[in-house]
Copies of this chain bind each other. A is one copy, B any other.
Amino acid sequence: MSEAEPSVPLSHRVPDLGALELLLAVARLGSLGRAARAQGISQPAASSRIRSMERQLGVALVERSPRGSRLTDAGALVTDWARRVVEAAEAFDAGAQALRGRRDSRLRVAASMTIAEYLLPGWLIALRAELPGTAVSLLAGNSSVVAERLLAGEADLGFVEGLAVPAGLDGAVIAHDRLVVVAAPSHPWTRRRGELTADELAVTPLILRERGSGTRQVLDAALAAHGGLAEPLLELASTTAVKAAVVSEAAPSVLSELAVGEELGARRLVEIPVRGLRLGRELRAVWPAGQRPAGPARHLLGLTRRTS
């Protein structure tokens, strides 16, 4: 009988980031020694680290030879999975670095939560590739906070997801988002025949983010013509909490496509099509009226346009 689930927590079953990075270096460079140098450690350290990773996983990852090392088939697969972990870690790092908000930042960004959470790390990684060494600071908050910071000269570039450009700011649409009605796969709505109507949606108690969130605003506006939103079944403070509640509470919600993309892909949540409701919204970059972004801000703005 094989040992059961998180009796041993995940972190003991997965090699740490250093080991995964090392594995990627071995895959890329074709030798333990070169990979070791690339990671700034000694060759024996790399050798032992890879070996203990193989022991931990119970799989041979690299084929050692006196002329270098190549990945085994299993090793290639493991390396690909490892790459995703490392990429997620890179996004984490890019975000965290910006959040630290050093005073000497050359680019100060203010962004709404959804954008900061889902899009900004990718932009920051791209920016780092193009303008290495540019210190970026990030402040996350709702549209009014973003506007306030920009107008106070405390931020160079903002990103908002509301319906309109806040007063005093200029802006450009950089991407489109869409709110989607989602429910757990077990919910009756997933087995409906026709599409849901806006009226039905309006009278159904939903699980929602609290009033004031960008998502909530758009939804309120869209349903205004249909008698307005019913009293929510549950109001939660974070998108994540809402997602969790949708799965367990057996009630639907309306969330940004950005936020539920993954869940829809894995069918942990199901999208419920709705007829006759415009739930699209623009994501905008904004800056103080008249002051076109320049320098790193302009660069970042360019990146965001390319990253739909």
Do the beta carbons of B18 and A11 come within 8 Å of each other?
A: yes
Do the beta carbons of B240 and A83 come within 8 Å of each other?
A: yes
Do the beta carbons of A88 and B85 come within 8 Å of each other?
A: yes
Do the beta carbons of B92 and A133 come within 8 Å of each other?
A: no
Among the stretches A69-77, A162-170, A217-225, A226-234, the one at the interface with B is: A69-77
Instruction: Check A43 for interface membership: any CB of B closer than 8 A.
Output: no
Encoded as 1 (CB less than 8 Å from any B CB) or 0, chain A from 264 to 299 comes to 011100000000000000000000000000000000
Q: A4-B133, A89-B10 are in contact. Are A99 and B78 (CB under 8 A)?
A: yes
Q: A9-B21, A17-B10, A240-B80 are in contact. Are A57 and B308 (CB under 8 A)?
A: no
Do the beta carbons of A84 and B92 come within 8 Å of each other?
A: yes
Instruction: Check A140 for interface membership: any CB of B closer than 8 A.
Output: yes
Instruction: Check A16 for interface membership: any CB of B closer than 8 A.
Output: yes
Q: A85-B92, A91-B84 are in contact. Are A77 and B117 (CB under 8 A)?
A: yes
Q: Which residues of B contact A140 (CB under 8 A)?
A: 73-74, 77
Q: A80-B117, A82-B92 are in contact. Are A99 and B57 (CB under 8 A)?
A: yes
Q: A16-B17, A17-B16, A266-B122 are in contact. Are A92 and B81 (CB under 8 A)?
A: yes
Interface size on A, residues (CB 8 A): 71
Instruction: Check A212 for interface membership: any CB of B closer than 8 A.
Output: no
Docked complex Cα distance between A183 and B100 (Å): 36
Instruction: Check A97 for interface membership: any CB of B closer than 8 A.
Output: yes
Q: Which residues of B contact A40 (CB under 8 A)?
A: 9
Instruction: Check A58 for interface membership: any CB of B closer than 8 A.
Output: yes
Do the beta carbons of A93 and B13 come within 8 Å of each other?
A: yes
Do the beta carbons of A78 and B93 come within 8 Å of each other?
A: no
Closest to A121 in B: B81
Q: A100-B58, A121-B81 are in contact. Are A89 and B9 (CB under 8 A)?
A: no
Docked complex Cα distance between A291 and B269 (Å): 32
Encoded as 1 (CB less than 8 Å from any B CB) or 0, chain A from 112 to 151 comes to 0100110001100110100011010000110000000000
Contact of A77 among B113, B128, B306, B308 (CB under 8 A): B113
A-B contact pairs, 15 of them (CB 8 A): A2-B102, A4-B132, A5-B132, A9-B21, A11-B18, A12-B18, A16-B17, A17-B17, A59-B96, A74-B140, A76-B238, A77-B113, A78-B92, A81-B92, A81-B121
Top 5 A-B pairs, shortest CB-CB distance: A11-B18, A11-B17, A58-B100, A85-B88, A81-B92
Give residues in A with beta carbon < 8 Å to B: 1-2, 4-5, 9-14, 16-18, 21, 27, 39-40, 57-59, 73-74, 76-93, 95-97, 99-100, 102, 104, 113, 116-117, 121-122, 125-126, 128, 132-133, 135, 140-141, 185, 238-240, 262, 265-267, 306-308
